[in-house]
Amino acid sequence: MRSLIFLLLFLPFTGWSQFISIQGQVKDTGSEVLPFAHIMMLPDTLVTLSDKAGNFSLKIKPGKTTIRVSYTGYETYSQSFSVNSDTTISIVLVP
């Protein structure tokens, strides 16, 4: 009975450790931050918006991923890469 209670209490947390954090900032070529840019991580289709300072953060699964960033009036940025630990990136969008 004790082992069943232990499993029920701690099993849900074991899956959380399998995610890593990817964070960054979105700017334009003039180093101006782009607030509320649309950020999508594929293949999991995780979506977020940058905050008013252009910062964003997502929890993703380790491995190969593609980030796609779009902002009205700018070219869409797309880059594929592999991540195995917490990562910080800078995104520069071209008008």
Note the pLDDT of residue 74: 97
Note the pLDDT of residue 45: 87
Residue 9 token pair:
């209490």
CA–CA dist 49, 70 (Å, integer): 10
* pLDDT of 78 higher than 80: yes
Q: What is the pLDDT of residues 2-47, one digit of tens each?
A: 554 554 555 555 455 589 999 999 999 999 999 999 999 999 889 9
Contacts of 73 (CB under 8 A, 6+ apart): 95
Note the pLDDT of residue 4: 46
The model carries a pTM of: 0.78
